[in-house]
């Protein structure tokens, strides 16, 4: 069919049904998290349509004027907060996603075609796209390997680095239960191949680093770091690159100039709002993510499921990997049963150490949505009953929906607040395409 029968009414109805269902569902996909309504607000408004390039507010460079009034929301909100929480002198907010950020960094720091880039082997959880992107840029790829799926072999790394003298070590843990010891790796790089840059793509860990639960890669000696802003950081679907090194900053600036034009200005403002909220709750939230993940791993094991890395406490971060096939249940079946109980998870091949498919989960979004204390035990009960198919899915889905009625972190646009009233006015104005009274509401509330 070359056309569609869907009408606008149907589209809005489908969106509405999905919204109702999402409010009753818990996403345990580790690479996603929700964010606050306020952080989404700019995406409904005029900045969503605007380009922004004039970071320095140079009067001669306002070739695109639409972003002019809101320049400070990027340059005096998002960027300084990223510098503060990311402990960097320079923050690029131009990448559109983790993969776009990866392309930028490989293009900027990977050297001329023919140079070598060292990255994490897929069997240790390296991202599937890194070697493909590097290859398309004309870079040669070598892998860091290890004695097991969670540990780097630093002696092998030293030998590889001395032999290949790479332009860049790109640390791209994606399927990851334990973070790489960046300091030990950087020390190895500096000794074996001085001049090689180290970039840490912490897409999965970004929130955990910004919240202080994981060490900052720059403090551990890396030249730059960054990653997606929507996995363990409850922000918009974008990515960032951070550094303290002026030479690295210049390479990133020069490359992003031609690689990224529209950087989604409204999402960048949303990122600033998310960072402002996160600055207050980030340390609490990230501590809770780690605690909930360890506890959930223990609870699932006690209830008889098989998890990876049992000898190491299952996980140091937000991910857990289940080998349901070892328990006689195909991963795809387990994921479908969980979905019927309104718990969304990944099932996938290629998890390090797995021969068949596994189930990958994360406690990041459940924690952000406010689950804590006994909720984690109840979630484990629902989860295991769903995987084992021991209770009717509809009853389990009701228990999941009850768990969804918690207060998320950072909920500031509370019922009755002027902030909520103003935000609702802005939403209405965007839909009606009229002016709004939002400014008056906030001015009167401030009196
Ligand atoms: C290390 C790493 N880099 C890049 C990406 C891609 O991120 P995005 O999906 O935001 O493009 C991921 C996603 O899992 C990742 O883990």
The predicted-structure confidence for 313-360, as pLDDT tens digits, reads as follows 999 999 999 999 999 999 999 999 999 999 999 999 999 999 999 999
Is 407's pLDDT higher than 80?
Answer: yes
Choose the residue to mutate in 99, 205, 209, 230 for probing ligand 1, maximizing ligand atoms within 8 Å of C-beta.
99
Is 440's pLDDT higher than 90?
Answer: no
Strand partners, 343: 26
Tokens of 383: 């989860």
- Asked whether 121 lines ligand 1 (CB < 6 A), one says no
- The residue from 276, 303, 320 where one domain ends is 276
Is 1's pLDDT higher than 80?
Answer: no
Q: What is the mean pLDDT of residues 306-318?
A: 97
Is 35's pLDDT higher than 80?
Answer: yes
When the pLDDT of each residue in the chain is averaged and rounded to a whole number, the result is 97
pLDDT at site 77: 98
- Which DSSP category does 115 fall into? -
Distance of CA 38 to the CA centre of its chain: 18
Is the same domain home to 300 and 249? no
| Closest residue to atom 9 of ligand 1, CA basis | 98
Is the same domain home to 253 and 240? yes
Helix 331-340 / helix 374-388 crossing angle, nearest 10 deg? 120
Give the integer Cα–Cα distance in Å for 318 and 296: 10
- Asked whether 98 lines ligand 1 (CB < 6 A), one says yes
- Asked whether 204 lines ligand 1 (CB < 6 A), one says yes
- The total number of structural domains that make up the chain: 3
Helix 438-446 / helix 418-432 crossing angle, nearest 10 deg? 170
pLDDT at site 446: 87
Q: Looking at ligand 1, which atom is closest to the CA of residue 201?
A: 1
CA of 105 to the centre of ligand 1 (A): 13
pLDDT in tens, 273-299: 999 999 999 999 999 999 999 999 999
pTM: 0.97
Give the integer Cα–Cα distance in Å for 410 and 235: 12
Choose the residue to mutate in 119, 127, 233, 241 for probing ligand 1, maximizing ligand atoms within 8 Å of C-beta.
127
- Asked whether 201 lines ligand 1 (CB < 6 A), one says yes
Report the percentage of the chain scoring pLDDT > 90: 95
Tokens of 174: 């994606």
Give the integer Cα–Cα distance in Å for 238 and 41: 16
Element (H, E) at 301: helix 265-302
Asked if 29 and 346 count as a contact pair (C-beta separation under 8 A), the reply is: yes
Is the same domain home to 390 and 421? no
- Asked whether 175 lines ligand 1 (CB < 6 A), one says no
Choose the residue to mutate in 106, 203, 207 for probing ligand 1, maximizing ligand atoms within 8 Å of C-beta.
203
Is the same domain home to 386 and 292? yes
Is 89's pLDDT higher than 80?
Answer: yes
Is the same domain home to 267 and 289? no
Asked if 197 and 213 count as a contact pair (C-beta separation under 8 A), the reply is: no
Name the E strands within 235-384: 239-243, 319-322, 343-344, 346-348, 358-362
In a domain, 173, yes or no: yes
- The residue from 242, 276, 310 where one domain ends is 276
Asked if 227 and 240 count as a contact pair (C-beta separation under 8 A), the reply is: yes
Is 411's pLDDT higher than 90?
Answer: no
Is the same domain home to 138 and 239? yes
In a domain, 26, yes or no: no
CA of 157 to the centre of ligand 1 (A): 23
In a domain, 298, yes or no: yes
Give the integer Cα–Cα distance in Å for 334 and 321: 13
- Which DSSP category does 59 fall into? G
- Asked whether 31 lines ligand 1 (CB < 6 A), one says yes
Is the same domain home to 310 and 365? yes
Q: How do strand 358-362 and strand 319-322 relate by DSSP bridges?
A: antiparallel
The CATH number given to whatever domain includes residue 371 is: 3.90.1150.10
CB atoms within 10 A of CB 220: 18
pLDDT at site 342: 98
Is 435's pLDDT higher than 80?
Answer: no
In a domain, 167, yes or no: yes
In a domain, 30, yes or no: no
pLDDT at site 149: 94
Asked if 183 and 221 count as a contact pair (C-beta separation under 8 A), the reply is: yes
| Closest residue to atom 8 of ligand 1, CA basis | 98
CA of 34 to the centre of ligand 1 (A): 16
Is the same domain home to 250 and 317? no
- Asked whether 102 lines ligand 1 (CB < 6 A), one says yes
CA of 134 to the centre of ligand 1 (A): 15
Cα atoms in the 13 Å half-sphere on the side-chain side of 268 = 31
Is the same domain home to 309 and 251? no
Choose the residue to mutate in 124, 175, 228 for probing ligand 1, maximizing ligand atoms within 8 Å of C-beta.
228
- Asked whether 238 lines ligand 1 (CB < 6 A), one says no
CA of 320 to the centre of ligand 1 (A): 17
pLDDT at site 438: 85
Is the same domain home to 122 and 264? yes
In a domain, 14, yes or no: no
In a domain, 19, yes or no: no
Name the least confident of 260-269, 321-330, 402-411. Answer: 402-411
Q: Can you give the residue range of the structural domain that contains 301?
A: 280-403
Give the integer Cα–Cα distance in Å for 293 and 150: 17
Is the same domain home to 266 and 285? no
Burial of 202 from C-beta contacts in 10 A (0-12 / 13-18 / 19+): buried
Give the integer Cα–Cα distance in Å for 32 and 243: 25
DSSP, collapsed to helix, strand or coil, labels residue 360 as strand
CA of 426 to the centre of ligand 1 (A): 33
| Closest residue to atom 16 of ligand 1, CA basis | 174
How would DSSP label each residue in 326-349?
GGT--HHHHHHHHHHTTEE-EEES
Name the least confident of 77-86, 121-130, 135-144, 432-441. Answer: 432-441
pLDDT in tens, 236-256: 999 999 999 999 999 999 999
pLDDT at site 412: 81
- The residue from 216, 248, 276 where one domain ends is 276
How would DSSP label each residue in 222-245?
-SEEEEESSSSS-S-S-EEEEES-
Is the same domain home to 324 and 432? no
Is 442's pLDDT higher than 90?
Answer: no
Tokens of 206: 């970004």
Confidence of residue 16 (pLDDT cuts 50, 70, 90): very high
The CATH number given to whatever domain includes residue 47 is: 3.40.640.10
| Closest residue to atom 4 of ligand 1, CA basis | 98
- Asked whether 30 lines ligand 1 (CB < 6 A), one says no
Give the integer Cα–Cα distance in Å for 397 and 409: 23
pLDDT in tens, 147-206: 999 999 999 999 999 999 999 999 999 999 999 999 999 999 999 999 999 999 999 999
In a domain, 57, yes or no: yes
Asked if 99 and 134 count as a contact pair (C-beta separation under 8 A), the reply is: no
Report the percentage of the chain scoring pLDDT > 70: 100
């Amino acid at each position: 069919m070359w056309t569609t029968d869907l009408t606008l009414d149907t589209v809005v109805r489908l969106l509405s049904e999905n919204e109702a269902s999402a409010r009753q569902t818990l996403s345990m996909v580790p690479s996603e998290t929700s964010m606050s309504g306020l952080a989404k607000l700019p995406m409904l408004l005029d900045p969503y349509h605007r380009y922004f390039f004039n970071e320095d507010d140079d009067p001669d460079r306002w070739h695109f004027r639409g972003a002019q009034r809101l320049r400070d929301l990027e340059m005096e909100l998002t960027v300084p907060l990223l510098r503060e929480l990311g402990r960097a002198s320079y923050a690029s907010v131009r990448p559109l996603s983790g993969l776009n950020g990866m392309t930028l960094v490989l293009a900027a720091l990977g050297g001329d075609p023919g140079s070598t880039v060292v990255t994490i082997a897929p069997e240790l959880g390296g991202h599937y796209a890194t070697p493909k992107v590097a290859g398309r840029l004309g870079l040669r790829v070598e892998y860091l390997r290890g004695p097991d799926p969670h540990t780097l072999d630093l002696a092998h790394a030293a030998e590889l680095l001395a032999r290949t003298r790479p332009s860049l070590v790109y640390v791209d843990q994606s399927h990851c239960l334990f973070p790489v010891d960046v300091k030990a790796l950087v020390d190895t790089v500096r000794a074996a191949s001085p001049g090689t840059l180290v970039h840490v793509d912490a897409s999965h860990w970004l929130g955990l680093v910004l919240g202080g639960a994981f060490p900052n890669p720059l403090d551990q000696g890396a030249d730059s770091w960054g990653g997606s802003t929507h996995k363990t950081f409850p922000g918009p679907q974008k990515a960032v690159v951070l550094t303290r090194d002026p030479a690295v900053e210049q390479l990133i600036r020069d490359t992003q100039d031609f690689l990224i034009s529209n950087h989604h200005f409204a999402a960048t403002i949303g990122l600033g709002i998310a960072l402002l909220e996160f600055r207050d709750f980030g340390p609490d939230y990230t501590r809770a993510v780690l605690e909930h993940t360890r506890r959930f791993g223990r609870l699932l094991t006690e209830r008889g499921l098989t998890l990876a890395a049992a000898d190491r406490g299952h996980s140091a971060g937000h991910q857990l990997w289940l080998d349901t096939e070892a328990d006689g249940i195909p991963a795809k079946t387990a994921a479908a049963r969980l979905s019927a109980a309104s718990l969304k998870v990944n099932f996938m091949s290629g998890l390090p150490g797995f021969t068949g498919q596994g189930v990958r989960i994360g406690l990041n979004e459940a924690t952000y949505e406010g689950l804590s204390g006994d909720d984690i035990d109840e979630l484990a009960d629902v989860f295991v009953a769903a995987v084992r198919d021991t209770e009717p899915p509809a009853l389990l889905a009701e228990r999941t929906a009850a768990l969804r009625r918690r207060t998320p972190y950072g909920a500031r646009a509370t019922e009755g607040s002027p902030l909520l009233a103003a935000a609702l006015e802005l939403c209405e104005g965007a839909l009606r395409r009229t002016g709004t009274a939002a400014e008056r509401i906030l001015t009167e509330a401030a009196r």
